[in-house]
Amino acid sequence: MNDTVKDVFRIADKTYNSRLLVGTGKYKNFDETKTAIEASGAEIVTVAIRRSNIGQSANEPNLLDYISPDKYTILPNTAGCYTADEAVRTCELARELLDGHKLVKLEVLGDQKTLYPDMEATLIACEQLVQRGFDVMVYCSDDPIAAKKLEDMGACAIMPLAGLIGSGLGICNPHNIRLILEQAQVPVLVDAGVGTASDATIAMELGCEAVLMNSAIAHAQNPVLMASAMRKAIEAGREAFLAGRMPKKAYASASSPIDGRFF
Amino acid sequence: MNDTVKDVFRIADKTYNSRLLVGTGKYKNFDETKTAIEASGAEIVTVAIRRSNIGQSANEPNLLDYISPDKYTILPNTAGCYTADEAVRTCELARELLDGHKLVKLEVLGDQKTLYPDMEATLIACEQLVQRGFDVMVYCSDDPIAAKKLEDMGACAIMPLAGLIGSGLGICNPHNIRLILEQAQVPVLVDAGVGTASDATIAMELGCEAVLMNSAIAHAQNPVLMASAMRKAIEAGREAFLAGRMPKKAYASASSPIDGRFF
Amino acid sequence: MNDTVKDVFRIADKTYNSRLLVGTGKYKNFDETKTAIEASGAEIVTVAIRRSNIGQSANEPNLLDYISPDKYTILPNTAGCYTADEAVRTCELARELLDGHKLVKLEVLGDQKTLYPDMEATLIACEQLVQRGFDVMVYCSDDPIAAKKLEDMGACAIMPLAGLIGSGLGICNPHNIRLILEQAQVPVLVDAGVGTASDATIAMELGCEAVLMNSAIAHAQNPVLMASAMRKAIEAGREAFLAGRMPKKAYASASSPIDGRFF
Amino acid sequence: MNDTVKDVFRIADKTYNSRLLVGTGKYKNFDETKTAIEASGAEIVTVAIRRSNIGQSANEPNLLDYISPDKYTILPNTAGCYTADEAVRTCELARELLDGHKLVKLEVLGDQKTLYPDMEATLIACEQLVQRGFDVMVYCSDDPIAAKKLEDMGACAIMPLAGLIGSGLGICNPHNIRLILEQAQVPVLVDAGVGTASDATIAMELGCEAVLMNSAIAHAQNPVLMASAMRKAIEAGREAFLAGRMPKKAYASASSPIDGRFF
Amino acid sequence: MIEIILNGKTQQTSASTVSELADSLGLTNKRFAVEINQQVIPKAQHQQTQLNNLDKVEIVQAIGGG
Amino acid sequence: MIEIILNGKTQQTSASTVSELADSLGLTNKRFAVEINQQVIPKAQHQQTQLNNLDKVEIVQAIGGG
Amino acid sequence: MIEIILNGKTQQTSASTVSELADSLGLTNKRFAVEINQQVIPKAQHQQTQLNNLDKVEIVQAIGGG
Amino acid sequence: MIEIILNGKTQQTSASTVSELADSLGLTNKRFAVEINQQVIPKAQHQQTQLNNLDKVEIVQAIGGG
């Protein structure tokens, strides 16, 4: 589309053509991970940081051999962290691991059942990470006041959950997402909760800059085909947002003229 | 996608790659009509039949000069008809106009405010048209019993409304669309009511074979860009349907493993 | 409430204080039926017509010994009928059974899986019943055009389904119910599909004159308590409709004044 | 209902029969306030604390002359406070005003457009108030992690917003309300966002202990009648919750038996 | 003795009228309605209505339904 | 000259066949369809189909619609 | 005469205690609460609490709110 | 030989620097990051960073996660 040639997504001073960010968890194997991510068209890929499997098999394949930092923007996340300290330590290790790469996805979780963010701790961790020079994309609740605080302290992207991580419930509260979008000066992404293609389209139609997802692709029956669906769903939603939808009406409006009827 | 290479849409013994059918009403002019339809990727295009503008300007352009029957499958509709007789007459004229082309979209309307189908008259008209040799795609209510009757009398496609024509309300009753889909042996398309891209995606995710729309594209602020959005939305929905979405869950499910945490 | 003293519900020239109509099926026994119906406050109670259990036990209790026609308006229904003829025969027998009582609930079903009305047959049966002098309350789809036809042929109440009989899905398509309400000159009741109290409240808030339900009460874990809940839910919805709800707003509006703050 | 005789609502060691708490703002005058609150059956009534109108008319009527602390449990709120300090000061003054009454409704707002709670400040204020001996009912976001923290620090009731204050949007995210309900050991009330009777019923069906509202009554066209509607709506929802609703089904389930048909 | 089809089942009866049939079934003074060969027989005519061989007789009542 | 009702308007015409009428309206080689008194007249019969006084003639084409 | 800031407005008063101030404002026996310089002054201490020059006095009551 | 806590498990090692430890684990030229006692040790310092008895050493890598 000529209209969209220049519609790039910018995060932390780098531009991207794709507005779909994907996770790397829950796939059957690295081959599936790689194929699905290629089908998704994603340019930013999030990874977790964990202890190496020492001693077991030093030659076992490594995720980054399949998803190369040369090709993708690797976005290390702090999944699994329940305190601000854990999250900051994880980011420091990630930056070292990725040769000084400073873009991170912060998540500080509240409990294991919901994986809902602990916003109090998230605010603390975000402030520290910004001070340490990170570009911080923040997984957060859909609380517009907290979102504003994160932006004010220097987060480079606000990423409210659509629904619980891995729930596939879609956008549970579009009103709050809209409030966040209206006030934000940095990109707002929906992160977590997308279950199928239309969920992603709706997020983009609301005006989100991009969407981050993992389970919706990895846990589809055919992850590679779903990755392709998501790529198109994101583009469809973005274009619909830019195109400006027709108004909703309570009554009908004929598509064919009344004049000229011969019957 | 290799997976979808053979996923063609078949209607009345002809196959199509696009599952988006579009109307030609409500555009600013024929140039916009043509450009938007090209952007939509549609292969089946619906038109109304009306009296020629005799005497005014014999040389004024004709819709079919822009949307050529050589390139597109023209689907004449009976928009504006309020009786079975009017609809049958309109189809006969359309067949003559299009050199014996027998694919038609039947709609018999109930009133001007809602443009809701008069199902009693629609059933009568459908039966007559099938007997006269037409391939009848039927705009109908989302009544699963009426849908079955239409199929039993030989309709080649069942096209329940998602919402009122021109309303842009999306799929007002997905339960009924699902009931129709479960029982149908002929293609089920959603016709009317789509307002934005995600509405189309949802229709396809439900399992519809295709979607027919007009206002959602023509009345968008940028019809050509919305046409592109709809093209992708339909493909996204179809692929998501084929890929098989993840199950919905009430609670969270971590995308990153718990094992291997160092904090 | 003084405001509602005169807010009576009128059907076929008789007035009622209760706007909750209940069925008598699916209860554990007649005692539970009786107690629940008393708790519901219903004044109109629907019953099915079936062959007597001849020879088995002539002294077995009879439903009408528990739900007396002296106390309740008995509304015989044509549940189980799949043709217009069956429905008309059933109504004739019901009228004889109830000593000339001419109020009936017409339902002509389309199939066993959905129990969705066969509207074509329903229209035929309704016309015959009106001609035979019955006061016909019609279970119908939420098709506004068919609803108008039923009213035009003399039905005394239009009763669109909220959802499938026994589904408990609530009002699946409020848009259509609203269209029916806007045009109707006879009472519109929601019949079928209510699952819990709020479903009934919503039906009344839309402007329905009354609601008919069975499973929602009989299949609750505590039918008698649910009957009481439904009584209040109907009254709440009616009063809210009459009171006129506040408008919805996208943003907040303080309940406490801003002036006079000392902080 | 015998079943509900003992179903009392307990807050801060006092029991109440009514589960509807109401505000006193936005009414035309004190007479309307008083009449509506009587119609609502509320026993707990929330008030704001503001500067006295000194000098203007010392004899102008006072809210508490109409809503007597002898008859109602007065619940002073901190509406209008944007910092923890302001909220604590307000509560101290309220306790003095009400002769040592220590039940308060804490709200610390984030901004004027949304009146969404500032949860960071709310947590700080709640902790201080508990330490100062207040019984604190907390207006909060629907964040289940923050709700747990409030409970852990000693809040006597958790009151997540259904929607923005004064918006009338109903329960925007029932998933989160359900998460809060599942974990809470103290009463959970929905506070703010209710727009009509069914919203209140739904809140109670989810399992909330009570509902607090103001605009839905005061801004109805007929506040007194809406107050009555709300009273019934709350009772209906509570009883439905206790009665245990029928399960939802995708298909129909006949209310009348199939056996015994004579047609 | 004649043979009638009563509520779908073929059977012998010595009753010659609807009233006699109802009495023989223990339905005296009960609330029921009768149809013979798809024609409703009003209560007032039960005594005088003759049963004929092979008549299809339906005797119905109200039961729980929704 | 005869009088026909063409697309709802009464008018005089000197055309004696459908073809002549179409030519007189500048429709030669255009895509249109013709109905006379609610009967479709196939293209192949335009030349031989006579117009009669008071015929109701409809000439239609495809236009934008949905 | 001293100058106090009463409910945000600077003004002169001859009252030397909280009680006297309240009386002068017509608040005798009314339901109100008093804060001086952000400290709540309990009713029991109104009589003995002296007003000082430039005290910030807040007198509040309950009003309609939600 | 010293004793370190490597990724949560106590073990003996003859390595005296981070580099030697990594080599002994077969991690040469692999992508990993090292933390000792909650302080990140940059790659450039692996050779000169001494291991001490009871050091808590974490060696981490990127894995699949969302």
C-alpha span between F47 and B4 (Å, rounded): 50
Question: Closest partner residue to F25 among B48, B54, B212, by Cβ?
Answer: B54
Share of chain C above pLDDT 90, in %: 87
C-alpha span between A66 and A192 (Å, rounded): 24
pLDDT of residue C4: 47
Supply angle C-alpha D130, D86, A183, rounded to 5.
110
Residue of chain D nearest G8, judged by CA positions: D51
Catalytic one among A6, A26, A102, A105?
A: A105
Over residues H43-59, mean pLDDT: 95
Over residues A35-56, mean pLDDT: 91
Average pLDDT over chain H, rounded to whole?
Answer: 93
Question: Closest partner residue to A114 among B252, B260, B261, by Cβ?
Answer: B252
Residue of chain C nearest A178, judged by CA positions: C250
C-alpha span between B137 and B134 (Å, rounded): 9
Chains C and D touch (3+ CB pairs under 8 A): yes
Residue F6 to chain B, least CA–CA distance (Å)? 9
C-alpha span between F51 and B51 (Å, rounded): 18
Find chain A residues with C-beta within 8 A of H38's C-beta.
89
Q: Which residues of C are catalytic?
A: 105
Cα separation values, D171 from A183, C115, D109, D174, Å: 23, 32, 19, 6
Q: Give yes or no for G63 touching C (CB within 8 A).
A: yes
Question: Closest partner residue to E66 among D255, D260, D262, by Cβ?
Answer: D255
CB F24 within 8 A of CB F47: no
Find chain C residues with C-beta within 8 A of A178's C-beta.
250
Find chain A residues with C-beta within 8 A of C175's C-beta.
250
Joined together, the tokens standing for residue B247 give 């199950």
By a Cβ cutoff of 8 Å, what residues of chain B touch chain D? 175, 178, 250
Residue G32 to chain C, least CA–CA distance (Å)? 14
Phi, psi for A4 (deg, rounded to 5): -110, 5
| Whether the predicted pLDDT of C253 surpasses 90 | no
**pLDDT band at B199, cuts 50/70/90?**
very high
Chains C and B touch (3+ CB pairs under 8 A): yes
Residue A142, exposed/middle/buried by CB under 10 A (0-12, 13-18, 19+)? buried
Over residues G39-49, mean pLDDT: 95
Chains D and G touch (3+ CB pairs under 8 A): yes
Supply angle C-alpha C73, C74, C78, rounded to 5.
140
**Residues A83-100: pLDDT tens digits?**
999 999 999 999 999 999
Q: Which residues pair with A137 in a beta bridge?
A: A105, A157
**By C-alpha distance, which of B44, B17, B14, B98 is closest to B214?**
B44
Best residue in C45, C241, C246 for a mutation probing chain D (most D CBs within 10 Å):
C246
Chains contacting D with at least 3 CB pairs below 8 Å? A, B, C, E, G
pLDDT of residue B5: 56
Supply angle C-alpha B100, B102, B107, rounded to 5.
130
Find chain B residues with C-beta within 8 A of F33's C-beta.
49, 93-94, 96-97
Best residue in C107, C111, C145 for a mutation probing chain B (most B CBs within 10 Å):
C145
A105 classed as catalytic: yes
- Helix, strand, coil share (%) of chain E residues, nearest 5: 15, 40, 40
What angle do helix axes B84-97 and B119-131 make, rounded to 10 degrees? Answer: 40
Find chain D residues with C-beta within 8 A of C139's C-beta.
none
Joined together, the tokens standing for residue F4 give 């026909």
Give me the sheet containing D135-140, strands edge to edge. Answer: D103-106, D135-140, D157-160
**pLDDT band at B191, cuts 50/70/90?**
very high
Find chain G residues with C-beta within 8 A of D96's C-beta.
33-34, 40-43
Chains H and B touch (3+ CB pairs under 8 A): yes
**Residues B17-32: pLDDT tens digits?**
999 999 999 999 999 9
Find chain C residues with C-beta within 8 A of D247's C-beta.
168, 219
pLDDT of residue B137: 98
Over residues D176-194, mean pLDDT: 96
**pLDDT band at A1, cuts 50/70/90?**
very low
Inspect the interface and report whether the beta carbons of C168 and D247 lie closer than 8 Å.
Answer: yes
More confident call, C40 vs C60: C40
Average pLDDT over chain D, rounded to whole?
Answer: 94
CB H65 within 8 A of CB A48: yes
SS3 C252: coil
Chains E and G touch (3+ CB pairs under 8 A): no
| Whether the predicted pLDDT of A182 surpasses 60 | yes
Inspect the interface and report whether the beta carbons of C143 and B179 lie closer than 8 Å.
Answer: no
AA identity, residue A215: S
**pLDDT band at C1, cuts 50/70/90?**
very low
Contacts of G9 (CB under 8 A, 6+ apart): none
Chains contacting B with at least 3 CB pairs below 8 Å? A, C, D, F, H
Which sign does the torsion angle of CA B161, B167, B169, B173 carry? negative
pLDDT of residue A256: 84
**Residues B43-88: pLDDT tens digits?**
999 999 998 877 655 567 889 999 999 999 999 999 999 999 999 9
Pairing of strands H9-13, H2-6: antiparallel
C-alpha span between A213 and A166 (Å, rounded): 9
Inspect the interface and report whether the beta carbons of C93 and E61 lie closer than 8 Å.
Answer: no
**Residues D12-71: pLDDT tens digits?**
999 999 999 999 999 999 999 999 999 999 999 999 999 887 765 556 788 999 999 999
Inspect the interface and report whether the beta carbons of A54 and H65 lie closer than 8 Å.
Answer: no
Inspect the interface and report whether the beta carbons of C115 and D254 lie closer than 8 Å.
Answer: yes
Inspect the interface and report whether the beta carbons of H64 and B262 lie closer than 8 Å.
Answer: no
Cα separation values, H61 from C235, F12, H28, H30, Å: 63, 91, 13, 9
Contacts of D129 (CB under 8 A, 6+ apart): D87, D88, D91, D104, D106, D136
CB D62 within 8 A of CB G31: yes
Q: Give yes or no for D257 touching E (CB within 8 A).
A: yes
Residue of chain B nearest C183, judged by CA positions: B113
Inspect the interface and report whether the beta carbons of B246 and A168 lie closer than 8 Å.
Answer: yes
CB C243 within 8 A of CB D221: yes
Residue C245 to chain E, least CA–CA distance (Å)? 32
Length of chain F: 66
CB pairs under 8 A between B and D: 4
CB B227 within 8 A of CB B200: no
| Whether the predicted pLDDT of C69 surpasses 80 | yes
Q: Which residue has the tokens 């443009």?
A: B115
Is the backbone of residue H34 left (phi > 0), alpha (psi -120 to 50) or beta? beta
**pLDDT band at C214, cuts 50/70/90?**
very high
Q: Give yes or no for H60 touching A (CB within 8 A).
A: yes
Q: Which residue has the tokens 């839910």?
A: C233
Burial readout C225-241 (b: 16 or more C-beta within 10 A, e: otherwise)? bbbbbbbbbbbbbbbbb
Best residue in B35, B75, B85, B196 for a mutation probing chain A (most A CBs within 10 Å):
B196
C-alpha span between F60 and F22 (Å, rounded): 11
Q: Which residues pair with H35 in a beta bridge?
A: H40, H58
**Residues F15-47: pLDDT tens digits?**
999 999 999 998 888 899 999 999 999 999 999
What angle do helix axes B223-243 and B30-40 make, rounded to 10 degrees? Answer: 20
Q: Which residues pair with E59 in a beta bridge?
A: E34
C-alpha span between C124 and C138 (Å, rounded): 12
Distance of CA D196 to the CA centre of its chain: 14
**Residues A186-196: pLDDT tens digits?**
999 999 999 99
The per-residue DSSP string of B98-119 comes to TTT--EEEE--BS-TTT--B-H
Over residues B223-238, mean pLDDT: 98
CB A142 within 8 A of CB A105: no
* Widest pairwise Cα distance in chain E: 40
pLDDT of residue A53: 77
C-alpha span between B230 and A235 (Å, rounded): 10
Phi, psi for G34 (deg, rounded to 5): -125, 135
Question: Closest partner residue to B248 among A195, A202, A221, by Cβ?
Answer: A195
Best residue in D81, D139, D141, D143 for a mutation probing chain A (most A CBs within 10 Å):
D143
Question: Closest partner residue to D74 among G41, G58, G62, by Cβ?
Answer: G62
Find chain G residues with C-beta within 8 A of D129's C-beta.
none
Residue of chain G nearest C258, judged by CA positions: G65
**pLDDT band at A57, cuts 50/70/90?**
low
CB D194 within 8 A of CB D202: no
CB pairs under 8 A between A and H: 110
Over residues D77-106, mean pLDDT: 95
**Residues E4-57: pLDDT tens digits?**
999 999 999 999 999 999 999 988 888 999 999 999 999 999 999 999 999 999
Share of chain E above pLDDT 70, in %: 100
**pLDDT band at A253, cuts 50/70/90?**
confident
pLDDT of residue A4: 47
Rg (CA), chain A: 20
Joined together, the tokens standing for residue B58 give 């014999």
C-alpha span between B76 and B105 (Å, rounded): 6
pLDDT of residue B261: 86
More confident call, B263 vs A150: A150
Contacts of A55 (CB under 8 A, 6+ apart): H25
